[in-house]
């Protein structure tokens, strides 16, 4: 597999929301583990006038023009685990000195992996609801309002699908509270190889069509 993996998030209509290159760390039965350091270039959907989605009321988001905007990853380093068959991924978020700041659980469609030419990637569909887990494993929900406001919208999910998303989060909560993998200390002391270059966006191929689950 390529040394870098493109993490891509889509909307139901096939439009890209983000593209982030990440360094491949390992690939085994636990999942695909990747590294995203501070300084990584990425693409993120913003309005034509530069606004983030949170600055646009939900009811107006279908009426504005969106485009992918070049960004630079800031704030915290991220070790990102895509778990096969699981409707979430787990982020270890490290401070600049590589101490663990928190885990971030991104609820999303199970990852679909792909390879094309010399590129490799993971495609998913964000489910809005997230979990923020402190190093002591205390936790809180994030963006519950975003999960609920999308119910019934054709680009998102039904009420029953929203219940399934929440149920996936509850399963993760059980793992957090019991200290099960991946909240068992795995990779808390991770240190990247200092020789690794910062991931880069490819000049072409990052906009391949969404690779959906078959």
Domains and CATH numbers, the chain: 4-178 (2.40.380.10)
| Run of H or E including 140 | strand 139-142
Q: Which long-range contacts does 8-14 make (Cβ < 8 Å, 24+ apart)?
A: 8/121, 8/122, 8/123, 8/124, 8/206, 8/210, 9/108, 9/123, 9/124, 9/125, 9/126, 10/123, 10/124, 10/125, 10/210, 11/125, 11/155, 12/125, 12/154, 12/155, 12/156, 13/155, 14/209, 14/210
Assess whether 3 carries a catalytic annotation.
no
- Pull the structure tokens for residue 147: 């999960």
Cβ atoms of residues 97 and 192 within 8 Å: no
- pTM, two decimal places: 0.94
Write the Ramachandran bin of 85: left for phi over 0, alpha for psi from -120 to 50, otherwise beta: left
The pLDDT, as a whole number, for residue 12 is: 86
Q: How many whole angstroms separate alpha carbon 123 and alpha carbon 135?
A: 28
The pLDDT, as a whole number, for residue 1 is: 58
The catalytically annotated residue of 11, 86, 142, 166 is 142
Q: What is the dihedral of CA 16, 133, 86, 156, to 10 degrees?
A: -40
Return per-residue pLDDT of the chain as tens, 214 residues: 579 999 999 998 889 999 999 999 999 999 999 999 999 999 999 988 778 877 877 777 777 788 999 999 999 999 999 999 999 999 999 999 999 999 999 999 999 999 999 999 999 999 999 999 999 999 999 999 999 999 999 889 999 999 999 999 999 999 999 999 999 999 999 999 999 999 999 999 999 999 988 7
Of residues 170, 190, 18, 197, the one with CA closest to residue 91: 190
Structure letter (DSSP) for residue 57: -
DSSP 69-122: EEEE--SSEEEEEEPTT-SEEEEEEE-TTS-EEEEEEEEESPPEEEEETTEEEE
């Amino acid at each position: 597999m390529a040394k870098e993996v493109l993490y891509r998030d889509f909307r139901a209509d096939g439009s890209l929301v983000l593209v982030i290159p990440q360094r491949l760390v390992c690939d085994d039965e636990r999942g695909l583990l990747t590294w995203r350091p501070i300084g990584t270039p990425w693409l993120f959907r913003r309005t034509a006038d530069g606004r983030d989605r949170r600055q646009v009321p939900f009811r107006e988001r279908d009426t504005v023009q969106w485009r992918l905007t070049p960004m630079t990853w800031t704030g915290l380093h991220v070790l990102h685990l895509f778990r096969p068959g699981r409707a979430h991924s787990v982020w270890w978020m490290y401070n600049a000195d590589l101490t663990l700041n928190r885990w971030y659980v991104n609820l999303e469609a199970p990852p679909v992996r792909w390879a094309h030419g010399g590129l490799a990637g993971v495609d998913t569909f964000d489910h809005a609801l997230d979990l923020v887990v402190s190093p002591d494993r205390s936790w809180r929900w994030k963006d519950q309002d975003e999960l609920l406001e999308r119910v019934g919208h054709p680009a998102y999910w039904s009420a029953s699908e929203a219940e399934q998303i929440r149920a996936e989060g509850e399963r993760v909560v059980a793992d957090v509270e019991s200290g099960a993998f991946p909240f068992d200390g795995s990779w808390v002391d991770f240190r990247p190889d200092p020789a690794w270059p910062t991931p880069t966006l490819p000049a072409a191929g990052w906009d391949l069509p969404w690779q959906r689950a078959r």
